[in-house]
Amino acid sequence: MSDAVAATSTTEKLTTADGKPLKAALARSQARNRRRAFYLVMPLLLFVVVTFLIPIGQMLSMSVTNTGFYSWKDRDTGETVPLMVELREWFDANPAGTEPDEAAYAALRAGLAHARETKSIGQIGTRINYEVSGTRSMFTSTARKAERMEPPFKEAILDADDEWADPKLWAAMRNASKSVTLDFYLAALDRTRDADGNIVKVEEERAVYVLLFQRTLILSALITFLTLVLGFPIAHLLATLPLSKSNLLMIFVLLPFWTSLLVRTTSWIVLLQSQGVVNDIGVAAGLIADENRIQMIYNQTGTIIAMTHILLPFMVLPLYSVMRPIDPSYVRAARSLGATSWTAFRRVYMPQTVPGIGAGGLLVFILAVGYYITPALVGGSSGQLISNLIAFHMQKSLNWSLAAALASLLLAGVLLLYWLYDRLVGIDNLKLG
């Protein structure tokens, strides 16, 4: 014990050439090295924050924020203008399911007049139209008359359009009057709120999102399996062939990366359509009759074939990176000890390729669930994935909040898959190169 104390005191007395304590000098040197390392990675960190974290944060914020009905951004001043203030106060004072009275209709009339004055009535009507179809025109037409309406306002508004008495419409306005809401996530799961505020399933003809999520997961899993079946022997050949031949094969594997994705997808349209190359060869060979040509495009078959081809290199390369270092003598040793070729492959070679299989499978699956261009071109109505519907809401319906909710659920599914992979296989075993 005394020797340790003496050693410690001796260390504390050591100094540098300029007389400073050695311990303090070492601490300053380590801090300086940490700062240098941080400055080196700062550009990459800023890039990740700006291009990845901030957009994801905005997406998550948009998925729970009511826009249009709750507030409106004035185009001239850039200020956020509160809308339907009187109607929101009535909703706050009365529980869900309360039948709207004269005070409610008076608040509605004031809100419509204000919205028309601020030129935001179209945005408000569009927001309600997300939940109750056909209401946008009703909002705009009634707003034009709102300024001239006189009490009793309930009678005046119902005279303008008797659809204003619909409880579903009032329930939708109540939901839209909240600044923060989870209703977009309910819509993304084919759920909605009834007039009493209870969560219920939407009508069967409107229940499309859960089906698309299921289709996306099933097709992505199938495409991942097909790329594994096709990519495993290719990667094995790359790893075992002589260098001259494996380099040539590697060129063929990488060749799709040198071709535009749009060109590759449209090429499959030429090959798979009813009057395409594949059907023509089948008819010429007598395999199928001319009147029985196979429909392989604008359906799930076209999506599976095209996406399997496009994503195949993403499975081959991780497998190759794992197979290349495997020593062939392991399999030869197993066979020399009496194992069959299948047993040697299954018990010696295959376990060593698991990190590559996991990495390739995870990479292909994550890419497949978010693919957009290929299903849009070759998938038709039955081959569309959830990404196509997200794009539709971003570009056509302009329901960005619902698109953000759908994208958030897709992101949550990918993160869950990543977590499961870490628990079952271990993220430390992930090898991409």
Mean pLDDT of 293-306: 89
Cite the DSSP H helix spans in 273-299: 277-284
**429 — pLDDT class (breaks 50, 70, 90):** low
Nearest residue to 67 (alpha-carbon basis) of 406, 412, 398, 407: 398
* Average pLDDT value for the chain: 85
CATH 1.10.3720.10 fits 209-429, yes or no: yes
> What does the block give as tokens for 300?
């799930």
Determine contact, residues 188/209, Cβ cutoff 8 Å: yes
Q: Letter for the amino acid at 368?
A: A
DSSP 151: S
Q: Provide the pLDDT for residue 316.
A: 93
Write down the pLDDT at residue 1: 47
Task: Find where tokens 């944060």 sit.
Answer: 57
**Which helix (DSSP H) or strand (DSSP E) does residue 201 occupy?**
strand 199-201
pLDDT digits (tens, 9 = 90+) for 42-98: 999 999 899 888 988 988 888 888 765 656 555 566 666 566 788 888 988 988 888
What integer is the mean pLDDT of 212-241? Answer: 93
pLDDT at 329: 87
Residue-wise pLDDT for 40-51, tens only, equals 999 999 998 998
pLDDT of residue 70: 55
pLDDT in tens, 335-378: 888 888 889 888 888 888 888 898 899 899 999 998 888 898 88
Q: According to CATH, where is 1.10.3720.10 located in the chain?
A: 209-429
Residue 19 has pLDDT above 90, yes or no: no
pTM of the predicted model, to two decimals? 0.81
